[in-house]
């Protein structure tokens, strides 16, 4: 009887040892597949982006003041982590080219405007959005039409936002017309939307890859202002009604 009890005790201890070892063993089969038969999730791939796409949209245009009035969506071809969201370290400029009729003569207004950056935020693993505000007080240059060579008659006349659509173009010309009663001002046959440029001007690194590797601090982009978030960028000016794809 003593022999049988000892044998039984040895069997129990052996079974406990087997269960203990099994509990510490990896649950993934030796062939690398997950228990449900799927391949294991690979580790995240690092590496800095090599391509940057810029899309600019208008949030408001007209003589009233609304901020922010434009949006810039920056898309990368690889996952990134935004490191610098300080608006002071990002610069946004607007190139404006506006033809119009003044006393039956074709006039053009040109301006290089600096926008105020309101926010810089990461929207997804591959996108950053900048919101900004631009205000035009007509300090740019007019073409050779003598009565309008200088700033228009009412220097307090302003236009806020981008020219993206035909309605925004007409609203802009209406401000010029309302501020210069000495001229008969009308719309031109062809209009152009604004071109918007952005760049990082901070002293650090704007973003890293998802593994924490610092990426280039010299990044920038430009695009025509459009009514949707996927459009071509013609040169040298941006026609109203750019075809979207």
The domain in which residue 170 lies consists of 52-239
Tell the residue number behind the tokens 């370290």, with chain if given: 89
Q: Is residue 104 part of a domain?
A: yes
Residues paired with residue 98 on neighbouring β-strands, in sequence order: 109
Where does the pLDDT of residue 179 fall: very low under 50, low under 70, confident under 90, or very high at 90 and above?
Answer: confident
Q: Is the residue at 89 inside a domain?
A: yes
**Residue 116, strand partner residues:** 133
Which of 185, 190, 197 has its CA nearest to residue 169? 190
Q: Considering only CA atoms, which of 110, 220, 116 is closest in space to residue 161?
A: 116
Nearest C-alpha neighbor of 86 from the set 30, 130, 40: 130
106-165 per-position pLDDT tens digit: 989 999 999 999 999 999 999 999 999 999 998 888 886 555 544 455 656 899 999 998
Query: Nearest-CA neighbor of 234 among 172, 190, 188, 192?
Result: 192
Domain count, the chain: 1
3-state SS string for 151-211: CCCCCCCCEEECCCCHHHHHHHHHHHHHHCCCCCEEECCCCEECEEEEEECCCCCCEEECC
pLDDT single digits (tens) 93-104? 999 999 999 888
E-strand ranges in 77-173 read 80-82, 90-102, 105-114, 116-124, 127-133, 135-136, 141-142, 159-161
Residue 26: inside a domain: no
87 within domain boundaries = yes
Q: Which residues contact 41 (CB under 8 A, 6 or more apart)?
A: none
pLDDT reported for residue 241? 57
**Is residue 245 in some structural domain?**
no
User: Residue 159: inside a domain, yes or no?
Assistant: yes
Ranking 60-64, 69-73, 156-160, 195-199 by mean pLDDT, the lowest is 156-160
CA gap 166, 164 in Å, rounded: 7
Assigned domain for 27 exists: no
Query: What pLDDT band is residue 53 in, cutting at 50, 70 and 90?
Result: very high
Q: Has residue 15 been placed in a domain?
A: no
Closest CA to 111 of 154, 87, 143, 89: 143
């Amino acid at each position: 009887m003593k022999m049988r009890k000892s044998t039984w005790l040895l069997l129990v201890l052996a079974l406990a040892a087997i269960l203990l070892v099994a509990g510490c063993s990896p649950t993934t089969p030796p062939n690398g597949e997950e228990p449900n038969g799927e391949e294991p999730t690979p580790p995240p791939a690092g590496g800095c982006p090599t391509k940057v796409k810029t899309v600019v949209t208008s949030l408001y245009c007209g003589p009233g003041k609304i901020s922010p009035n434009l949006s810039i969506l920056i898309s990368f071809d690889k996952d990134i982590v935004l490191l610098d969201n300080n608006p002071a370290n990002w610069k946004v400029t607007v190139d404006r080219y506006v033809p119009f009729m003044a006393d039956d003569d074709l006039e053009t207004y040109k301006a290089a405007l600096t926008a105020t950056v309101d926010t810089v935020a990461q929207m997804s693993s591959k996108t950053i959005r900048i919101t900004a505000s631009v205000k035009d007080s007509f300090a740019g240059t007019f073409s050779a039409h003598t009565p309008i060579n200088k700033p228009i008659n009412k220097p307090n006349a302003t236009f806020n936002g981008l020219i993206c659509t035909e309605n925004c173009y007409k609203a802009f010309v209406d401000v010029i017309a309302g501020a210069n009663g000495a001229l008969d001002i009308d719309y031109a046959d062809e209009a152009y939307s604004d071109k918007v440029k952005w760049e990082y001007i901070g002293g650090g690194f704007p973003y890293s890859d998802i593994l924490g590797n610092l990426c280039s601090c010299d990044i920038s982009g430009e695009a025509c202002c459009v009514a949707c978030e996927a459009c071509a960028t013609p040169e040298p000016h941006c026609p109203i009604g750019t075809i979207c794809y």
